[in-house]
Amino acid sequence: MSGPPDQRPSVLLFDWDNTLVDGWVGIAAALNAALGAFGKPLWTVEETKNRVRVSLKESFPLMFGDAWEQARDIFYETFRADHLAHVSPMPGASEALLAAAAWPMGVVSNKAGQYLRAEVVHLGWEAHFGPVVGAGDAPADKPDPAPILMALEQLGFPASPEVWYLGDTALDMIAAKAAGVTAVLVGNASHDGGVEQAAPDLHVQSAHELTAWLKSLA
């Protein structure tokens, strides 16, 4: 859409990777440590962006079979060592969060909760957010609505179309709709077949455009 929506949101919930931050170098390095240990072809950073969607506990059994827990341990050993060195704000994300200060905010991600929260603190963003819900925190991970509903429960808000969940993938849009909240796509969802395939309720091209939306709505 060309301008901001008419309806002012009540709550803003954000996905993390590729929505607010770029941490793909660290994710790819940890993934390749696991792949390499089992003699599997390594992934480039771009391939990692294209393929990583669901949480590790869902994807690794498919990738590594009965050895998935060993692969998981290799992944997290590598990731733990250097993920903070590789995480940085997406272009315009810091400004968008400042513009969003008029609303209660939270994060809902498929990154493991302990690492997600460490990255929030590392960036100095903990004051922006109430709940920070990662993989393993709720009974199920995205695209199940459970983590979005958990974040809303912690904020004391019911699920409704006045709640925005902002993410960069079709999976994020599926999770938002399953939770009964407004699905807001940030970016062009090129890795998921484009905007039409992702089927958001609202679409913003970038964090910079989101900043302009939020300033007008505030």
pLDDT digit string, tens, across residues 15-27? 999 999 998 899 9
3-state secondary structure 147-205: HHHHHHHHHCCCCCCCEEEEECCHHHHHHHHHHCCEEEEECCCHHHCCHHHHCCCEEEC
The answer, yes or no, to whether residue 181 has pLDDT greater than 50, is: yes
Higher-pLDDT residue of 7, 74: 74
pLDDT at 6: 84
Domain ranges, ordered by start, for the chain: 11-22+88-217, 24-86
- The predicted-structure confidence for 122-155, as pLDDT tens digits, reads as follows 999 999 999 999 999 999 999 999 999 999 999 9
Give 4's pLDDT tier (boundaries 50, 70, 90). Answer: confident
Give 115's pLDDT tier (boundaries 50, 70, 90). Answer: very high
Give 56's pLDDT tier (boundaries 50, 70, 90). Answer: very high
pLDDT at 54: 85
The CATH class of the 11-22+88-217 domain is alpha beta
121 exposure class (CB count in 10 Å sphere: 0-12, 13-18, 19+): exposed
Stretch 20-35: mean pLDDT: 94
Give 1's pLDDT tier (boundaries 50, 70, 90). Answer: very low
- The predicted-structure confidence for 67-82, as pLDDT tens digits, reads as follows 999 999 999 999 999 8
Pick one of 3.30.160, 1.10.540, 1.10.150, 1.10.3470 as the CATH number of 24-86: 1.10.150
Task: Evaluate the CA torsion angle 27, 29, 30, 32 in order and state its sign.
Answer: positive
81 contact partners, CB below 8 Å, separation of at least 6: none
The answer, yes or no, to whether residue 203 has pLDDT greater than 50, is: yes
pLDDT at 2: 53
pLDDT at 49: 85
